[in-house]
Amino acid sequence: MSENNTIIFSEDLEDFLLRRNESEGYAMMLFCAAGKMQIDLNHEHFELKEGDLLFCHPHFIIGHYMRTPDFHCRLIGFVAQALDEMAFLCFREDNLWWEKTQYLFAHPILHLTERQTTLINVFAELNQIYGSCEITPTREKIKNILLQAGILEILSWLEELIPTNSSSKKPAQKEVIFRRFIMLLQQSNGAHREVKWFANELSITPKYLTTVCKEVSGRSASELIDEFTLQEIRRLLQHTDFTTKEIGVKLGFSNLSFFCKYVKRGFGMTVTEYRQTLRNNSTTKDNTKNIV
């Protein structure tokens, strides 16, 4: 495994998932180089085979997984800071950033062509080479450039998969505001739930922010805020030992009663019941039996 403070390259799936569960969460890209794997993401079942690339957002919950004995993978993990930097890069360079992000949320596995597989392997080998070298400021810059090039290359593969009539157009002002709002949501990790707070950060009115969100995504600002907050609550309940009160404080709830009611309304059960359900249904125990 090679790493810096924000990015991890690894071929050890168990160690990576353990680190991910014990930390504030990593975004993950996993390339299946050989064999097969079945995995649960957000309680949905997926299967990877040789040549597949899996995308996993930091808030995605990884549950049961099984691998064939010949399974081999290459993966890269991003902590929140690195993911924000990648998002900013996409925001500047890719007009279809939002559409591609939503596509990957709904379709987290891409099957790569022979050319795409070759490129993935080249990027992995280059990162491994630079990861084994003595770190200097120049080499660190080269590693970041290679990583950015790899991300942009992968994003370019999605252009044929998403429906669009405006791939060459510059984003409209409302789209720019919406993308900045989404980045603020990701950075806040559920700690802010007032539309007014986000509107102030964006120097617009709450009413206009809600209008922008409705027009761009079909959902209101408050609906999107709740979605991000509930994702973070789900992650903390499953993968940490924080008490109910500690999670509420961490996410900025004014009191324990309000937090408990928020969870009950969002998940349909109490905090204790939901945590027990998550831990019963979504463990990450390894099983190397053959996948039929």
The residue among 208 and 148 whose pLDDT is bigger is: 208
Beta strands 2-3 and 62-67: pairing type?
unpaired
Q: What is the pLDDT of residues 29-52, one digit of tens each?
A: 999 999 999 999 888 899 999 999
- What CATH number should be reported for the domain holding residue 178? 1.10.10.60
Shared-domain flag, residues 18 and 69: yes
| pLDDT given at position 96 | 72
Mean pLDDT of 127-148: 80
User: Is residue 289 situated within a structural domain?
Assistant: no
Shared-domain flag, residues 124 and 196: no
Q: What is the pLDDT of residues 230-271, one digit of tens each?
A: 888 988 887 788 999 999 999 989 899 999 999 999 999 999
Q: Where are the alpha helices (DSSP H) in the chain?
A: 13-22, 80-93, 97-106, 114-131, 137-157, 173-188, 195-202, 206-217, 221-239, 244-250, 256-267, 271-281
Q: What is the pLDDT of residues 95-130, one digit of tens each?
A: 677 677 778 888 899 999 999 999 988 888 887 787
- What CATH number should be reported for the domain holding residue 12? 2.60.120.280
| 137 CB neighbour count, 10 Å cutoff | 7
**Residues 6 or more apart in contact with residue 114 via CB below 8 angstroms:** none
| Count of structural domains within the chain | 2
| Residue at a domain's end among 110, 134, 160 | 160
Are 162 and 99 spatial neighbours (Cβ–Cβ below 8 Å)?
A: yes
| 59 CB neighbour count, 10 Å cutoff | 20
Question: Which range of residues forms the domain containing residue 240?
Answer: 173-280
High-pLDDT (> 90) share of the chain, %: 34
Give the CA-trace dihedral at 250, 254, 256, 257, to 10 degrees: -150
**Tell me, what DSSP letter sits at residue 95?**
T
Shared-domain flag, residues 65 and 193: no
Mean pLDDT of 169-195: 80
Beta strands 72-78 and 27-34: pairing type?
antiparallel
**Token code pair at residue 1:** 């495994």
Can you tell me the distance from the alpha carbon of 281 to that of 188, in angstroms, rounded to the nearest whole number?
28
| Residue at a domain's end among 111, 133, 160 | 160
Give the residue among 127, 117, 216 at the shortest CA–CA distance from 157: 117
Q: What is the pLDDT of residues 58-84, one digit of tens each?
A: 778 888 899 999 999 998 887 766 666
Shared-domain flag, residues 41 and 151: yes
| Statement: residue 284 has pLDDT above 70 | no
Shared-domain flag, residues 192 and 259: yes
Across 178-192, 224-238, 274-288, least confident range: 274-288
User: Is residue 106 situated within a structural domain?
Assistant: yes
pTM across the whole model: 0.64
User: Is residue 24 situated within a structural domain?
Assistant: yes
Strand order in the sheet with 27-34: 2-3, 7-10, 72-78, 27-34, 52-56, 109-111
Can you tell me the distance from the alpha carbon of 85 to that of 104, in angstroms, rounded to the nearest whole number?
18
| Residue at a domain's end among 160, 183, 207 | 160
- For residue 39, CA distances in Å to 34, 61, 237, 256 come to 15, 11, 20, 34
